[in-house]
């Protein structure tokens, strides 16, 4: 039996997306941390390129676009779950991991939109080998010029800079648990244990496996923070071509997450 052909009823073009983003509250002068799921749209004509083009064109007169570019494969193999690695192979896998390359390291859990964005002219990429950010626009260099190796999403990170600069978060079909800047709340309330992570980096002499400290982060509570923000009318949202679009202030989300974690999570080692 022939498979029924799927007909697109609400194709999204670049101009349709730009108009929708304006209606949502994107002014073109904001700092926006963007998380986009292309598959959440019924169909975007031109795919990831169209989404990135729309964001850059809207922001070309003073705006800034920021996206996480996390290289999950350049990480401590003992922490892997997809796939898990046998303990007797940890050392061999560490030695086989290629060094971080801001433009070419694979980003298996990042979206096609983030992949397209990081290759655009003028994009600046922060230096962390596992949890970097890419930024474009007025404040791109300020956002990405310093990111610590240890505790990479804490006070010396793009997360803290977007907080200080009163940026916003734009979710295009993505959920709150993908909102990277909200991890800053976890560092500010001492609610997570510390672990030893690792990544392969280029050095003057070749490559080196670098160990660094970080919290055992957990974004599973962020959707609960969403409900708090929603009750306070801090989220602007609308639908476009099957995609749930949300816009909200980053600082408010981080503050509410910090407050929520302080009240609900106690990690005794730090008390």
Q: Global pTM?
A: 0.92
Least confident span in 107-111, 212-216, 244-248: 107-111
- Per-residue model confidence as pLDDT tens digits over 34-90: 999 999 999 999 999 999 999 999 999 999 999 999 998 999 999 998 889 999 999
The predicted pLDDT at position 216 comes to 94
Domain boundaries, the chain: 14-70+102-182+219-264
What's the chain's average pLDDT? 93
Q: In the predicted model, what is the mean pLDDT of residues 130-142?
A: 96
Share of the chain above pLDDT 70, in %: 96
Burial per residue of 66-89, b for 16 or more beta-carbon CB atoms within 10 angstroms, e otherwise: bbbbbbbbbbbbbeeeeeebeeee
pLDDT tops 70 at residue 136: yes
Question: Facing residues of 45 across strands?
Answer: none
The predicted pLDDT at position 269 comes to 47
- Per-residue model confidence as pLDDT tens digits over 141-185: 999 998 999 999 999 999 999 999 999 999 999 999 999 999 999
**In terms of pLDDT, which residue wins out, 146 or 217?**
217
pLDDT tops 70 at residue 271: no
């Amino acid at each position: 039996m022939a498979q029924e052909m799927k007909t697109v009823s609400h194709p999204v073009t670049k101009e349709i997306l730009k108009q929708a983003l304006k209606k949502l509250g994107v002014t073109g002068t904001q700092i926006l941390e963007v998380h986009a799921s292309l598959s959440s749209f019924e169909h975007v004509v031109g795919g990831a390129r169209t989404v990135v083009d729309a964001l850059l064109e809207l922001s070309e007169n003073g705006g800034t676009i920021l996206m996480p570019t996390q290289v999950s494969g350049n990480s401590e193999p003992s922490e892997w779950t997809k796939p898990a690695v046998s303990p007797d192979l940890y050392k061999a896998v560490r030695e086989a991991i290629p060094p971080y390359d801001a433009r070419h390291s694979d980003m298996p859990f990042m979206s096609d939109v983030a992949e397209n964005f990081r290759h655009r002219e003028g994009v600046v990429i922060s230096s962390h080998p596992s949890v970097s950010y890419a930024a474009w626009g007025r404040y791109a260099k300020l956002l990405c010029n310093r990111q610590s190796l240890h505790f990479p999403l804490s006070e010396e990170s793009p997360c803290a800079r977007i907080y200080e600069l009163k940026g916003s978060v734009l979710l295009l079909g993505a959920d709150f648990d993908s909102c990277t800047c909200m991890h800053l709340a976890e560092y500010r309330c001492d609610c997570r244990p510390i672990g030893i992570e690792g990544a392969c980096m280029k050095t003057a002499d070749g490559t080196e496996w670098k160990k660094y400290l970080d919290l055992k982060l957990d974004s599973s509570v962020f959707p609960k923070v969403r409900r708090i923000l929603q009750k306070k009318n801090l989220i602007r949202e609308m639908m476009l071509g099957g995609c749930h679009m949300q816009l909200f202030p980053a600082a408010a989300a981080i503050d509410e997450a910090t407050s929520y974690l302080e009240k609900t999570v106690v990690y005794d080692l730090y008390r």
